[in-house]
Structure 1
Amino acid sequence: MQDHLTKATIPGMRAFAAVTTHLTEMARKRHNCLPIATAALGRTMTGSLLLAANLKNDEGITIRVQGNGPLGKIVTDAGANGSVRGYVENPRVDLPLKNNKLNVGEAVGQGTLYVTRFTGLKDPFTGSVELVSGEIAEDLTHYLAASEQTPSLLALGVLVNTDLSVIAAGGLMLQALPGAQEEVITAVEENVYRLPSISQMFAEGKTPADILAGVFEGFPLSLHEQTELSFRCQCSRQKVERVLISLGRDELNDMIKEGQAELTCHFCADTYNFTREELQEIRDKALDADETERNEK
């Protein structure tokens, strides 16, 4: 099943369901993750896609989970167009199971969740809350209620095979709209709690539309647009060159003395190599930029 996100509504409520199995597997391979890091990164990427589903096409979300556990920092970027990228600082962390489940909460630890919204305004908006459990779904639910005053329920899951590959991954976000009737909210929540885990449903072949039908069982369901999802990074050799130019002449000269430079993108693990000759050209560009700036002053 192709990774995709589907939106559904009933009077007073909306929900988004996303299957993210393939993009989570791609992130696992790129970052060489062990299962607990795969689960934490997959949940966070899925959560960022669910939050970005409310945005316009050119807008995006960055989620940063800064815990004191052994995984370190988790960072993901997602756009309303269905693209996502992300990394975990220490992807090779391994911890014992807790109640036969991956102990993501302990691996993340205590700390802060940051959510930045890029909405086309001059300055992006960043909100933050303390981590509730480190399990990601509960933390994002807490963020939406505390920072954005949006009553929500999130479920995120990643199921990992014994060969470390991802069997299934995905998520669900349920939100009450202004004017929602309390009895409707209660009935829908009861539907959700009767469902199996989100990763189990996707492993059984359920689609996002199937899950949304179960969430809103007994109500007049309206299914809306479907968005294809993919792991996609915005890095490029040209952008890396601009980073090198920004380092300045002295640091570039040090790289030239070494004879080469190798830079790796945090988000996708792609590596960019530069020869001495290429670094000299980049240094010359940096000198030209400095000269232009001086002349403008």
Structure 2
Amino acid sequence: MKDQLIRVISGEINVRAMACLTTETVRAVCARHRTRPTASVALGRALTGGVLLGALLKGRQRVALKFEGNGPLGKIVVEADPMCLVHGYVGNPNVDLPLKGGRFDIPRALGHAGLLTVTKDLLLKNPYQGVVNLVSGEIAEDIAYYLTDSEQTPSAMGLTTIPDDSGGIVVAGGFLIQSLPPANEGALDLLSRRIADLPPLGKVFHAGETPRDLLDRIFGDIPYEILGHQGVAFHCPCSRDRVEQALVTLGPAEIRSLAERAEDTTVTCEFCREPYTFTPDDLRRLADERH
């Protein structure tokens, strides 16, 4: 099954929802970063959360999520857009902790103390930025808390990533449920109970159920309207031109200093690990052009 996202709305209870399958996308990112199992789960959840938040935007808007904790993962950074294109990285991809009660111990890996920073480029004069404390380190709960506290939109989110023993991805996906004004408290309580009664998300998707099947489980007999479907994919916008622009910020003197070394200079994109190599002649040309 291809990675996909579905958007729906229920006018009857004033709720919008999305669900997505992100297995291939998460697999591609984790393979590039060679993540170990615990790091794969944390990064996979964050990537799927980014896809869900990006799908709330329009046009050329973008969203970035940065999780910074006091655990061994260090930080997780994800960027996504309304087309459900996403990329990201984890500070320490080699983290692999023992299971806790049969579950991946993401709170310990990320850390209980830390911040989630959400930055939205809404194509206005300045980007919007919201910062909240990590409430659990479980990724989904932290994003839902941000949406509820910072954006004042009551939200529930579920995320799953199941890795194999080497850190490769077996399945990944998630959902987002949001209350729209005026809130229907009774319906929200009902949806909350149904979410609590769901089987583990990983098992749902691994059994072959689609994102729509998942929403059917949550909404039950509550009617909803499908707003659209969207493919989900990994995409990094890095390029040699962008790397050159970054090198230019060093200034001509620093660029010439790099050029004086006998060996080539390689710059690697943090998000996709793509290497860009510049010879001394490349650097001298760049310094001369920007002088």
Give the TM-score normalised by structure 2.
0.96
- Secondary structure at the aligned position of 1:45 is classed as helix
Aligned pairs for 1:239-250 (under 5 A) are 239-250=242-253
Structure 1 position 6 matched with structure 2 position 6: yes
How much does 1:96 deviate? 1.1
Which structure 1 residue ranges, 5 or more long, are not aligned? 288-297
Mapped to 1, the partners of 2:92 and 2:192 lie a distance apart of 36
Mapped to 2, the partners of 1:217 and 1:180 lie a distance apart of 19
Structure 1 position 182 matched with structure 2 position 182: no
Of the candidates 231, 234, 245, which is equivalent to residue 234 of structure 2?
231
Aligned pairs for 1:16-55 (under 5 A) are 16-55=18-57
**Match for residue 141 of structure 1?**
144
**Match for residue 99 of structure 2?**
97
Of the candidates 262, 265, 269, which is equivalent to residue 269 of structure 2?
265
Of the candidates 212, 220, 223, which is equivalent to residue 220 of structure 1?
223
Of the candidates 262, 268, 279, which is equivalent to residue 283 of structure 2?
279
Query: Would you say how many aligned residue pairs link Structure 1 and Structure 2?
Result: 287
Mapped to 1, the partners of 2:260 and 2:165 lie a distance apart of 46
**Alpha-carbon contact 1:209-1:223 (below 8 Å) kept:** no
Mapped to 1, the partners of 2:101 and 2:254 lie a distance apart of 50
Mapped to 1, the partners of 2:88 and 2:145 lie a distance apart of 21
Of the candidates 123, 126, 129, which is equivalent to residue 126 of structure 1?
129
**Alpha-carbon contact 2:6-2:228 (below 8 Å) kept:** yes
Aligned pairs for 1:49-68 (under 5 A) are 49-68=51-70
For 1:3, the aligned partner's letter is: D
Aligned pairs for 1:156-167 (under 5 A) are 156-167=159-170
How much does 1:41 deviate? 0.7
Q: What is the root-mean-square deviation of aligned Cα atoms in Å? A: 1.0
Which structure 2 residue ranges, 5 or more long, are not aligned? none
- Secondary structure at the aligned position of 1:129 is classed as strand
Deviates more, 1:134-143 or 1:243-252: 243-252
Give the TM-score normalised by structure 1.
0.94
How much does 1:221 deviate? 2.2
Mapped to 2, the partners of 1:69 and 1:32 lie a distance apart of 19
How much does 1:193 deviate? 1.7
**Match for residue 75 of structure 2?**
73
- Secondary structure at the aligned position of 2:249 is classed as helix
- Secondary structure at the aligned position of 1:247 is classed as coil
Mapped to 2, the partners of 1:83 and 1:250 lie a distance apart of 37
Mapped to 2, the partners of 1:163 and 1:235 lie a distance apart of 28
- Secondary structure at the aligned position of 2:109 is classed as helix
How much does 1:45 deviate? 1.0
